Amino acid sequence: MDLPPSTTGAMAASDVPLGASPGFWREAWRRFRRRKLAMAALLFVAALTLVAICAPLIVGTRPIVCQYKGRIYFPAAWYYNRDWENPIFAKDRFRGRFAENLQAKDPQSWAIWPLIYQDPYRRIRENEWPGQPANPSGAEGRPSRYNWLGTNQQGFDVLASMVHGAQTAVSVGFVSMGIAATIGITLGALAGYYGRWIDVLLSRVIEVVMCVPSLVLILALVALLDRVNNLHLMAIVGLTHWTGIARLTRAEFMKLKQMEFVAAARALGASPGRIMFTHVLRNALAPVLVPITFGIADAILIESGLSYLGFGASPPNPSWGTLLSAGRRNIEDMWWLILFPGTAIFLTVLAYNLIGEGLQEATDPRLRQDAH
Amino acid sequence: MTSYLIRRLGIAVITLVLITFLVYGLIRAMPGTPATNQLAVMDPSKQLSPEAIARINRLYGLDKPWYAAYFVWMKNVVVGDLGVSFTRNMRPVAELIVERAPATLMLSATSLALAYLLSIPIGLWATAQANTVAERTVSTVLYMLYSLPAFVAALYLQLLLYVKLDWLPLYGMQSDAYESLSPVGKAVDVLRHAVMPIACFTYGNLAYYSRFIRANMQEVVRQDYIRTARAKGVGPRAILWKHAFRNTMIPLVTLLGLSLPGLFSGAVILEQIFQWPGMGRLYFEAIGQRDYNVIMGLTLMFSVLALAGQLLADILYAVVDPRVTYG
C-alpha cells in the first residue's frame, strides 16, 4: 500500500503470470470437481432432473408420438398439461386408452410408446397392453415383472408414481428456493448495505419469521386454501424459508461494503441499487449459494413431510410423500410402499447436502488454504 | 452486562408480541372454529350449549375481530391466564401443557443427553484418527444419517423392528395391558415404546454434533499452541482433551443453548408418527381442532424458549470465553 507506484508496478510485473488468471467461478468449479462425492451428487441431481423432465417418456400409457388418421400427435404431452390433449382423441372417445383404440379406430396408425406401460393416475387392466396382466392391488401388489416396485392400495404402479413424483420433488426444490432466494437476498442486501434503522427493522422481521413455528404457518396457509396444489406448497415453503439466506447475505454485505471497490463504485457515481446488485452481490453470491442448496434439500423434505401427513397437494398428485403415507397405513403388509419412496427422498436430500457442502468448501477462502 | 441484558430482553418482548400477533391472526384466519370442528359435529355430547359458547366467546374475545381478540388474549396472559381448551372439556391450557410435558421431555431430554454423550467421544476419536479408513467410514455413515429424514427413518425402523422382527411395539406409549403390569413391568413397557422415538430423535443430532465437533477440532489442532504443547511433551490424549477440546467448547455451548428449546417443542411430526402423547402431538391436534388457546399457549411457550435459548447461548458464550464481554 505504502510503496511508491514504481515498486508496485515492478512487483506486479514479476509476480503475476501472463495471461488471465482463472476467475473465481472457474477456480471454484475446479475445486468442486476434485470432490468425488460432490460430483457424484451433482450427477445424481442432473439425472433426477432429467427423469423428472422426461417422466412421460419413461413411464406412461400414452404414446410419445403417434400417427392417427394421417396426422402426427403427441398424446404424452397430456401428462405435462391436461389442456394439451388434442380434441380429436376426445371426439373419437379414446378415454385415455390409446393402446387399444389406436389400432381399432385406425389400422394404419403407428405409435412410439414410453419405455414402460404403466400409469401413475390409474390401474392398468388386463390385456390393455397385449400380454400384460391387470395390476394387482393391496397386499398382492408386491414388486413383480410388470410392476417393478409394486403397486399401491388401488393398484397404481409405484414406479410410475415415483417417476412422475420426481417432477414434484425437483420443481418444489427449485421453485421454492427461487422464491426464498429472491426475498432473502433482497432483504439481506438492504439490511447489510444500509445498516442503521433499516438493519434493525429488517433484522427484527427476520427474527420474527424465524421464530414463528413454521408448522403453524404452513398448516394455517394450507387450511386457508381450498384445493392445495404444488404451486401453493412451493410458495409457502419459499415464503417461510428465506431467513437463513437473508442472514448470510446481510453478513456478507456488511463485510463487503467496507471494501475499496464499493467506495470506488460510489465515487464513480453508481446508484445504490447498482452497487448492491451488480458489484457486491457478485462477490457475495458464492457463500449465499450454500444455504440455497441446503434449502432445496429442506424444501423437498418439507413437501414430502406435508404429503406424508396428508397436508400435501390434493390428489391425484404423485408425490413420494403420498406414497410413504400410504405405506404407513399399510405398514404390516406393503413394505414396498415405504422402502422405495423413502430411499428416493433420502438419496435426493443426501445429494443436495453433498453438493452444498462441496460448494462450501470450494468457495470458502478460509478452507481453501488447507487444500494446498 | 446489565444494560445489555435489559436491551436484549426489551427486544425479545417486542419480538414475542410480533410472533404471537402473527400466529393469532393466522389461526383465526383458518376456516372453522373450535365449535364447528369435526369432534363436536360427530359427537353431540361434546357440543357446548349456545349460552356456554357465548360466555366463552365473550370471555376470550372470540366475538371480536381477531386483532381486538388478540389483545384480550394478551391481557389474560399478562395476568397469568392462558385460557381454557375449547375441545378438551374446558380444561386450563397450562394444566394441559404440564400434563403433556413429561412425555415430550422423556424423549427429548434423553435424546439430547445421548447425542451429547456420544458425539463428544466420536468427535474426539475422529480427530485423533483423522483420515484412517475407520474414521472415514464412520464419518460417511454419520453424514448419511444426517441426511436421512426422521420420518423416513421412523418408517424404516417400524418396518424392521415391528413388522419384520416383532421386537418392539409399533406406536403409542403404553400397551393395552399397562394397568395390570407390575411397576417394573410398567417401566419396561414404556421403555420399549420409547426406544424407536428416541432413536429417531437422536441420530440426526448425533450426526450433526459429532461432525460439528470434528470440524472445530480440526481447526483448533492446527493452532500454534497445540504444536507448542506437543513440543513440550504433552501426551496426545491430554492435548486433545485439555488443550484442543476446551477451545471448541464455545461453539458447542452455543449449540447447546440453541437446542434447549427443542427439548419442549420436540419433533411434532415424530410424535405424530409414533402417536406419542407429548406436547408436539397436542400442538398438532390443537391446530386441527382450531383450539385457539392451546395453539397460542404452546406457541408462546415455544417462542419464549427459543428466544431464551438464544439469549442463554450469548450469555454462556461470555462465561466460557473470557474475551467476550457485553457492554
Please state, in angstroms and rounded to a whole number, the distance separating the CA atoms of residues B283 and B262.
Answer: 14
Average pLDDT, chain A: 82
What CATH number has the domain spanning B100-278?
A: 1.10.3720.10
Tens of pLDDT, residues A201-230: 888 888 888 777 777 777 777 777 777 788
CB pairs under 8 A between A and B: 96
pLDDT at A189 over 60: yes
Taking CB atoms and an 8 Å limit, are A324 and B147 in contact across chains? no
Closest-CA residue of A relative to B308 is A211
Tell me whether A293 touches chain B (CB under 8 Å): no
Cβ contact (<8 Å) for A216 and B284?
A: no
Q: For residue A366, what is the nearest residue in chain B, using CA coordinates?
A: B219
Separation of alpha carbons A41 and A111, rounded Å: 36
Residues of B in contact with A224 (CB under 8 A): 29-31
Extended strands (E) in chain A: 59-60, 65-68, 71-73, 110-112, 116-117
Q: Which of residues 213-252 of A touch B (CB under 8 A)?
A: 213, 215-217, 219-221, 223-224
Closest by CA position to A99, among listed A88, A91, A89: A89
Nearest to A216 among B23, B143, B159 (CB): B23
pLDDT of residue A20: 62
Beta carbons of B159 and A335 less than 8 Å apart? yes
Q: What integer pLDDT is reported at residue A145 of this predicted model?
A: 83
Lowest-confidence pick of A43-52, A280-289, A298-307, B206-215: A280-289
Per-residue model confidence (pLDDT) at position A19: 59
Q: Which three cell numbers stand for residue A352?
A: 443436495
Per-residue pLDDT band for B41 (boundaries 50, 70, 90) equals low
Region A104-128: what's the mean pLDDT?
84
pLDDT at residue B150, as a whole number: 86
Looking at the partner chain, which of A215, A220, A301 has a beta carbon nearest the beta carbon of B29?
A220
How much of chain B is in helix, strand and coil states, percent to nearest 5?
75, 0, 25
Which of B18, B148, B273 is opposite residue A346, by nearest beta carbon? B148
Confidence of residue A51 (pLDDT cuts 50, 70, 90): very high
CB B316 within 8 A of CB B306: no
Q: Is the dihedral of CA A79, A81, A84, A88 positive or negative?
A: positive
Grid cell for residue B54 = 357465548
Question: What pLDDT score does B37 carry?
Answer: 57
Q: How confident is the model at residue A18 (pLDDT cuts 50, 70, 90)?
A: low
- Please give the pLDDT value at position B253: 77
Give the residue from chain A lying closest to B215, CA to CA.
Answer: A367
Instruction: Note whether ipTM > 0.90 here.
Output: no
C-beta separation of B289 from B31 below 8 A: no
Q: Which pLDDT score is estimated for B267? A: 72
The pLDDT of residue B43: 56
**Pairwise CB contact (< 8 Å): B26 & A211:** no
Indicate yes or no: CB of A216 within 8 angstroms of CB of B19: no
A4: confidence class by pLDDT, cuts 50, 70, 90: very low
For residue A348, what is the nearest residue in chain B, using CA coordinates? B147
What residue of B is the nearest CA neighbor of A349?
B147
Has residue A232 got a pLDDT over 70? yes
Q: How confident is the model at residue A350 (pLDDT cuts 50, 70, 90)?
A: very high
**A43 pLDDT more than 90:** yes
Domain segments of chain B: what residues? 100-278
**What is the least distance, in Å, from the CA of B258 to any CA of chain A?**
12
Share of chain B above pLDDT 70, in %: 90
A316: preceding bond cis by omega (within 30 degrees): yes
